[in-house]
Structure 1
Amino acid sequence: MSNVLHDESAVLRQERVQAWGRLLAVVLFVATLFVLSPEPDQIRASRLAAVTVLMSVLWLTQAIPIAATSLIPLALFPLLGIATAEATSKAYINRNVFLFLGGFVIALGIEKWGLHRRLALSIVCLIGSSPRRIVLGFMLATAFLSMWISNTASTLLMLPIGLALLSSLRETGQEAEIETSADSPPRAAAEPARQEATDQPAAPTADLPEDTTPEPLVRLGIALMLGIAWSASLGGMTTLVGTPTNVAFAEIWDRTFVNPPHAPGGSPAASSPGAAAGSGAAAGRGQSETEVGLRAPELSAGTWMTGFVPIGAVLLLCAWGVLVWRLLPLPGARRFGRRFFRERLKALGPPRGTEILMATVFAVTAVLWVTRRAVRVGSVTFMPGWSDLLREPLAAHGVAVSGIHDSTIAMLMAVLMFFIPAGRDRRGQRQFLMDWKTAERLPWGILLLIGGGFALASAFSSTGLSSWIGTEFAAVVAGWPLWMLVGGTCLLLTFLTELTSNVATVSTLLPVLASVSVRLEIDPRLIMFPAAIATSCAFMLPIATPPNAIVFGSGRVPMGAMVRTGLVLNLVCVFVLTAATFGLLVPHFGINTRSMPAWADPPAAAAQKTPQLPATDSSIPVKAP
């Protein structure tokens, strides 16, 4: 009776939160529209800010279904003049959305034929059944994959295995409790009947009713799902090609400092009329004249990895700690051990033909994703990418390799599943690896959520709202101590990318930070490097990153749990990145924290330099008006 009353109270409390959420969202939306009175050329940005407030409150309170909130840009962007209906609609149907769709189809196929259960039991046999070890094992595997393939692809590969593991743990936990209560021999009551070696679809197990799931397993499900998403983001940041944000940053760095447009031939200062003034300013800072005109250091994959793999490892351990500190022993834990799960794996029998076919599709997809581009460390190429090897043969037939994307692979393999025979069912009808009845179980709501996030991110860039935020931030931080500047930059970008595209944030704000560093006469790497990494540290909202959206779509992670734990990790990341900047990146990249290098000295500003403050003063020098 008490449980029923508790459930009714929780429902009423949730309804009140949703009602207040709807009211608050509308009030803040209207208030933002009328309070912000920007210049005429900033009207679109102010209206976008109002829509962002509206959607954020609705998402956080779940006042209306999350997928419905994601449709708001389609209605309000054209009505408020933020973007055209055509431009907004394109955000919902793009190659990344189809990457998710194809990955979800493959995941449904893995579940349909029972391969997920075999994979899950095999993993537990390998890493053990301790909740903390399970989460750590999945996070390490996902992070390693994400170093070489897209964060989205690595999440899609690990998600069905994680869901299958949770289902298996629930089933075996119930069996173990039955054994314990009956005090029976281990295999007498617990071993499931041997599955018939027929090519029939396995019963779905990922959507078990949550009201009968033990609390320890619910907590493990949240930790495991978030661990997969977070480790995908953290693994991607450790390599130059691991995530598009790093690639975008490398391009901005090269265009701004290594080969800037004002320096033909690659010498930023030497070939410009202001070189002499720059030389005098450099000498005033104690630098030799030979430094002036040098190129900025190029970013190679090797130097990036040696600098950021340690940071990624520390952040991964921090994320693991945030996730597992409240985990409880699983039900029936006394009986859990490798032998216990080996018996369950043995009970499944030998792999069926359909399992082998599905495993082949899964493996081929993974290999094509991993090997699409060359794997390089520094100047050494360990493995050429098949897109590079096929570039000339395909070009001869009018096919551009640049037009091939990970979504191409995902959709190719998803469509092939509808062609691959999988025997006959009990009624004698022909089966295939995938049928449309199964495909209809696709999480269409999460695809709308992803599209809504893309629409919002695109508008942040097109209206100039991201750039405006960066400019205002630059005006605020003048005169801050270095550590506060780095920490403030990381804090701003970490929470800004909860609502904006990571790549869009890098593309719009990193050039602003480059000019800020020059105006403040500090090494641009001091704030640009941690800022680039901070854009990958968004863990609070489903729309923050594709991995977040994917695991949220599993139904295992409540919005409140994602926001609370994500907030903690966001703050931890800000602290770690700030400390690592001065403790690791400064010595690793040879960054001088007391002066600006000659290659960053723009000729136009060289004559306006102010004297450097004494070494005892840790604040950033502010330019004279």
Structure 2
Amino acid sequence: MKISQITYLKKETGLIFAPVVASVLYMLPLDMSREAQTVLAIMGFCLVFWLTEVIPLSMTALLGVSTAVVLGITSIKEAFLSFGHPVILLFIGSFLIAQAMAKHGLDKRFALNLLTRNFFVKSPFRLIAGFSVISFLLSMWVSNTATTAMLLPLVLGIVYTFKQNKIKGISNFSIYALLSVAYSASIGGATTLIGTPTNLIGAGFLKEAGYDIDFLKWFILAFPITFTVYVAFLFYIKFHIRNFHFDKNEIKKIFVEEKKKLPKISLGEKNTFFVFCLAAFFWMLPGIANLLGNKELYTFLKSHIPEAIVAVIAAVLLFLLPSKKNEGTLSIEDIKKLDWDVVLLFGGGIALGKLITKTGLADYIGQKVSSLISPELMILFIVILIITMIFLTEISSNTATVITFAPILIGILKEMNMEIFYPVFGIIIAASFAFMLPIATPPNAIIYGSRHIPISKMVKVGLFMNIIGSVIISTFIIIYMK
């Protein structure tokens, strides 16, 4: 069945089941306030719409918040206050920095400069490692989708050359080369606070719960997890392409030719690199102050130069710094290319999360779930949550899944008087680890669209990655908690 047919069936299913689910949840004889049960019905409707993507995810979030206003659950002022949340400013600013990288070709120059190194063309495994490490590193700062789309032509160029030379085993090599790009982008994106929308949304919920995580702390906690998963994936690839060989001179020639096509380093690239370094420095500075034990400087930086303000000032600089005569490094056209769907989803998602907490729905669910789980089984509960999150995001948007479950999990952990931060951090990271299906993530869809990867192969390798991801995330979260 084609992806378009699956998408159509999902939408049809969603249109039928969303009202049914909402009605059932609203009429159930539950011992909660009417407001809480109304929000439960709204969330049930939104969840079905998110899972089946009947309309854009942001429109579903806005529909949910608007319905709450119409039904008198909250005022319009309070409902839409979340659209001014610092997380939204951080996303807009960081996206514009990434946009400047792509616009001026800084990301491609970085990729080709790395791939022309002798180290990466000496063997098939090293070549794949070259592609994957670029994907892993770039996706920490640029969107996973843009990273995958940029690297795809380079991988396909290599595959085409191999086919021209009738090298045996090219089909197997092409599969793992393409998967390495997509999977590494998803893994790398979870590493930094700005790497993927789910991280920012999750950080927003943690902040509402009283946990303000800075850029450096996120990296310090996430990097050991993502790097371990990444290394496990490389070992898996190395085993499966061990019998494939090629002429390294031919491969280097391709990359050198591509590098020659690059124009001279432009002023726009220099501006972008300068602004990126400046933003990265100020994002990490509060964390460095905290690590050095300077609480006074840390408090000052967090209150006067928070991550969101750094991102906004960096974006403004890109509009001020000229790249050509009468033209900034970024222009008004770049603002139009901003992923406004995700921006609106952020605002609507955080608003819905606040409603879950405000009406007592999170506390109610927390009480019911905590009464079923003894503290001795808490570790098992967290492991099950992480596994569930990974497999659930195979069929639904990871951002929508985090929006739905993060505030509920916070409520459950509060009722159980358990550590909130690390389990919630674990499910946020897990939300990026969907590897089995083309519809799971944009990187998966992009490489599947190349028609070099059978769906059965993606499911097989993806299942392995899901299991490895579950084990590694769970292990690190348990270690962090202890």
Fold equivalence (TM over 0.5):
yes
Q: Distance in 1 between matches of 2:328 and 2:243?
A: 41
Aligned partners of 2:275 and 2:314 also within 8 Å:
yes
Q: Distance in 2 between matches of 1:225 and 1:443?
A: 18
The one-letter code of the counterpart of 1:363 is: C
Aligned partners of 2:21 and 2:44 also within 8 Å:
yes
Counterpart in the other structure of 1:469: 365
Q: How does 1:295-314 map to 2 (within 5 A)?
A: 314=228
Tell me the CA shift for residue 107 of structure 1: 1.8
Q: Distance in 2 between matches of 1:316 and 1:102?
A: 28
Counterpart in the other structure of 1:539: 431
SS, match of residue 498 in structure 1: helix
2:401 pairs with 1:418: no
* Aligned partner of 1:356 among 261, 270, 279: 270
* Aligned partner of 2:74 among 77, 80, 83: 83
The one-letter code of the counterpart of 1:60 is: L
Counterpart in the other structure of 2:350: 454
Counterpart in the other structure of 1:96: 87
Q: Distance in 2 between matches of 1:90 and 1:564?
A: 44
CA offsets 1:433-459 (integer angstroms, 9 cap, x no match): 111123211111121222222122222
Structure 1: stretches of 5+ with no match in the other structure: 1-5, 143-153, 184-213, 237-241, 253-300, 392-399, 425-429, 515-523, 543-548, 590-625
Check 1:460–1:17 CA distance in 2 against 1; reply closer, same or farther (3 A cut).
same
Tell me the CA shift for residue 19 of structure 1: 1.0
The one-letter code of the counterpart of 2:312 is: M
Q: How does 1:565-580 map to 2 (within 5 A)?
A: 575-576=471-472
Q: Distance in 2 between matches of 1:52 and 1:567?
A: 29
2:189 pairs with 1:177: no
**Alignment root-mean-square deviation, CA:** 5.1
Check 1:51–1:568 CA distance in 2 against 1; reply closer, same or farther (3 A cut).
farther
Counterpart in the other structure of 1:485: 378
Check 1:509–1:326 CA distance in 2 against 1; reply closer, same or farther (3 A cut).
farther
The one-letter code of the counterpart of 1:462 is: K
Q: How does 1:31-180 map to 2 (within 5 A)?
A: 31-39=24-32, 42-125=33-116, 128=120, 130-132=127-129, 134-136=131-133, 138-139=135-136, 141=137, 155=140, 157-159=141-143, 163=146, 166-171=149-154, 173-174=156-157, 177=160
Q: Distance in 2 between matches of 1:36 and 1:329?
A: 63
2:331 pairs with 1:435: yes
The one-letter code of the counterpart of 1:82 is: I
Larger Rg: 1
Tell me the CA shift for residue 23 of structure 1: 0.5
Check 1:174–1:167 CA distance in 2 against 1; reply closer, same or farther (3 A cut).
same
The one-letter code of the counterpart of 2:187 is: G
Tell me the CA shift for residue 235 of structure 1: 11
Which moves more between the two structures, 561-570 or 410-419? Answer: 561-570
Tell me the CA shift for residue 485 of structure 1: 3.5
Counterpart in the other structure of 2:7: 14
Aligned partners of 2:385 and 2:427 also within 8 Å:
no
CA offsets 1:570-617 (integer angstroms, 9 cap, x no match): 7766655666688x579xx5xxxxxxxxxxxxxxxxxxxxxxxxxxxx
Aligned partners of 1:248 and 1:507 also within 8 Å:
no
Check 1:564–1:441 CA distance in 2 against 1; reply closer, same or farther (3 A cut).
farther
The one-letter code of the counterpart of 1:415 is: V
SS, match of residue 121 in structure 1: helix
Tell me the CA shift for residue 216 of structure 1: 6.9
Q: Distance in 2 between matches of 1:553 and 1:406?
A: 27
Check 1:389–1:451 CA distance in 2 against 1; reply closer, same or farther (3 A cut).
closer
* Aligned partner of 1:29 among 14, 19, 22: 22
Q: How does 1:487-506 map to 2 (within 5 A)?
A: 487-492=380-385, 498-500=401-403, 504=407
2:255 pairs with 1:341: yes
Counterpart in the other structure of 2:393: none
Check 1:567–1:26 CA distance in 2 against 1; reply closer, same or farther (3 A cut).
farther
Counterpart in the other structure of 2:188: 228
Counterpart in the other structure of 1:513: 416
SS, match of residue 231 in structure 1: coil
Q: Distance in 1 between matches of 2:231 and 2:72?
A: 45
Counterpart in the other structure of 1:370: 284
2:310 pairs with 1:409: yes
State, as a whole percentage, how many aligned pairs show the same letter: 17
Tell me the CA shift for residue 335 of structure 1: 7.1
The one-letter code of the counterpart of 1:38 is: D
Q: Distance in 2 between matches of 1:69 and 1:326?
A: 42
Aligned partners of 1:121 and 1:341 also within 8 Å:
yes
The one-letter code of the counterpart of 2:68 is: F
Aligned partners of 1:421 and 1:432 also within 8 Å:
yes
Counterpart in the other structure of 2:452: none
Aligned partners of 1:537 and 1:573 also within 8 Å:
no
Aligned partners of 2:189 and 2:195 also within 8 Å:
no
Q: TM-score, normalised by structure 2?
A: 0.71
Aligned partners of 1:173 and 1:333 also within 8 Å:
no
Aligned partners of 2:90 and 2:308 also within 8 Å:
yes
Tell me the CA shift for residue 465 of structure 1: 2.0
The one-letter code of the counterpart of 2:12 is: A
SS, match of residue 323 in structure 2: strand
Q: Distance in 1 between matches of 2:237 and 2:408?
A: 27
Q: Distance in 1 between matches of 2:328 and 2:381?
A: 54
CA offsets 1:43-90 (integer angstroms, 9 cap, x no match): 222222222221121112122232322321232111233332222212
Q: Distance in 2 between matches of 1:569 and 1:47?
A: 38
Aligned partners of 2:321 and 2:329 also within 8 Å:
yes
Which moves more between the two structures, 162-171 or 91-100? Answer: 162-171
Q: Distance in 2 between matches of 1:120 and 1:130?
A: 12
CA offsets 1:361-410 (integer angstroms, 9 cap, x no match): 22212222122443454xx45xx69x92894xxxxxxxx96143211111
Q: Distance in 2 between matches of 1:420 and 1:457?
A: 39
Tell me the CA shift for residue 350 of structure 1: 3.7
Q: Number of matched residues?
A: 437
Q: Distance in 2 between matches of 1:316 and 1:463?
A: 41
Aligned partners of 1:490 and 1:534 also within 8 Å:
no
Q: Distance in 1 between matches of 2:464 and 2:282?
A: 36
Q: Distance in 1 between matches of 2:224 and 2:76?
A: 45
Q: Distance in 1 between matches of 2:332 and 2:58?
A: 22
Aligned partners of 1:227 and 1:320 also within 8 Å:
no
Q: Distance in 2 between matches of 1:342 and 1:504?
A: 50
Q: Distance in 2 between matches of 1:92 and 1:333?
A: 54
More helix by share: 2
SS, match of residue 422 in structure 1: strand
Aligned partners of 1:225 and 1:557 also within 8 Å:
no
Tell me the CA shift for residue 539 of structure 1: 0.9
SS, match of residue 72 in structure 2: coil
Q: Distance in 2 between matches of 1:441 and 1:339?
A: 35
